[in-house]
Structure 1
Amino acid sequence: MSRVRRRQREGSSGAAVPSFTSGEICDKVVALEELELAVRSCVETLESSSSSSSLESKCSAAGKLRLLAKHRSDFRAVIGGCPGAISSLVGLLRSADPATQENAATALLNLSLEESNQARITAAGAIKPLVYALKTGTEAAKQNAACALLSLSMIEDNRATIGACGAIPPLVSLLLHGSSRGKKDSLTTLYKLCTTQQNKERAVTAGAVRPLVELVVDHGAGTTEKAMVVLNSLAGIPEGREAIVDEGGIPALVEAIEDGSVKGKEFAVAALLQLCSDCTANRHLLVREGAIPPSSRCPSAAPLAPSTR
């Protein structure tokens, strides 16, 4: 473990306040008293309206809070409980400076990993600004804003609010155009949000079904199973079932049963069951795709109907 270097700087209160780099946060157990001084110094910089508090210094302060909140639960709790820390970061989510916005989104993501901070971040009005960062930020800012919204969606009442604030379309955009990590973050967040009826409808309207079906057959992306889980959720509403069939979802899911992993096959069967249980036309499509061998077909029995046990 490397020896930690600590720089002292003078905060506006006149006290010597430690400043830390990423490596120092990882390598040293910092006393909570020192942490509190560092956090207060960062918050003072973020809240300052003086001309001497430049955008660069605010970006730096947000970056320090981001690093301080990265590794330790007790640090996150202290930062979340510091007056002004969360609200000042929320204010930076609409910054025109990409680096500042990214630092703020990432700091809030890190803080949201502490359960007690999720209600604090929500109360600070973070949902709309996080959606803004999800729409306008850098690739990393979009990914981290999506994950922060995922954390906030652990509070059940937030799920409808996040959807109503417009999070679904930019999540679908991230699913379409994001990196591999971005696609995974989008899928996980969409799944959590789509536990509500309205968000399922919003996802279908935003065009989520086509990229989901494409990911089901794209085995190299590492997102096949996650995509099937979200499709299974969307298959719970009539609009979702119609869109899945229209976008070629039945052949894609049948292929997953034939060639997918054990877990993937389970997800595919669950989705097909929803698509076909109440629709004769979809059952015929399923049979035509070869999911049921001819010897096992029974004219009087509905394919994929659950059996008694």
Structure 2
Amino acid sequence: MDNPSTSKQTLSMSQSTSHCEETVEPNFYFSPNGTKYWIPSVDTTEKPKKDTTFNSWEDVVTMYKSYAGDAQMVINKLSNSSLYFKNNFFEYLAEDGELRNMFWADDISRSNYKLFGDVLAFDTTYHTNRYFMIFVPFMGVDCYKKCVTFGAGLISNETIDSYKWLLEVFIKAHSKQPQLVLTDQDPAMKQAVSAVLTDSRHRLCMWHVTDKIPSKLKGEMERNTEIKSCVHKLVWNVFIKPETFEHRWHEMINDYDLSSNKWLTDMYAIRHQWVPAYFRELPMCCLMKTTSRCESINSQFKVYSSEGNTLVEFTLCFEQALNAQRFVQRQLQLILQQRHL
């Protein structure tokens, strides 16, 4: 897995990052057949001219980078979108002429968050673009128990500051914190959630915890299989109360003589962060116990995207994946409406 923080490939910006704020006209036009074309905002001297000749392909690439800087094209596109469609949201961070972080959410994503934003899950995925920027989708569950997207971000590294920036902008876009936020056990992510989402309950992904059980047990395979089955039956039970969970956990520890297992002891110490019994009172908490829904949309997104994509290609792929998700939601909505006719 590539390490974004050590990558030597950087994302150059071909012009001032403040340009988007000064734009008063949309940088696009429609062809006679209705196709929409985006136009880079550059000086006339930098625009390609008819009958221009080049000495090599390297000169062509240089011209392209100067005329159609990848990062700037995406910034222009998303900035204009939020400028002319008031319910769309976009914000980015640039340092020393390089794009570091960005977050965007259209009007449908923001409307979905108002309706289904009690529970929020987010996870990271890699290899979606040639700059090794990390893709972070924000997900929830709608009234059809299907994945719904509340927005998405790109960050240049997985530091506490990057996650804090992303979460702060997310709250700025949606104006309220979720009741419950679900993540994996990434330490930087955990600290950022605690610092920014102060009104939310933070819950760890159960799958990331239970998946480690086989590697944390010693002894015969048959015995370990029994222990894993016992743990799964206990922690995945959404109907028991905390006191019942604790009683049965201690019974399991005594029955299998596991009191000296440090990992199980540590997981029990933070049981209130990942066991469903401690979240029973929160709305919709039982619909999301893992970040698998984020991983599902990540997998779907990778059907359209690839690690060689530019940011322009990346955003187009994201829109395609989002449209596919929303098409399913519209189908379900239509089926429900027909049943009530």
> TM-score normalised to the size of structure 1?
0.32
Relative contact order higher in (CA < 8 Å, ≥ 6 apart):
2
More helix by share: 1
More strand by share: 2
> TM-score normalised to the size of structure 2?
0.30
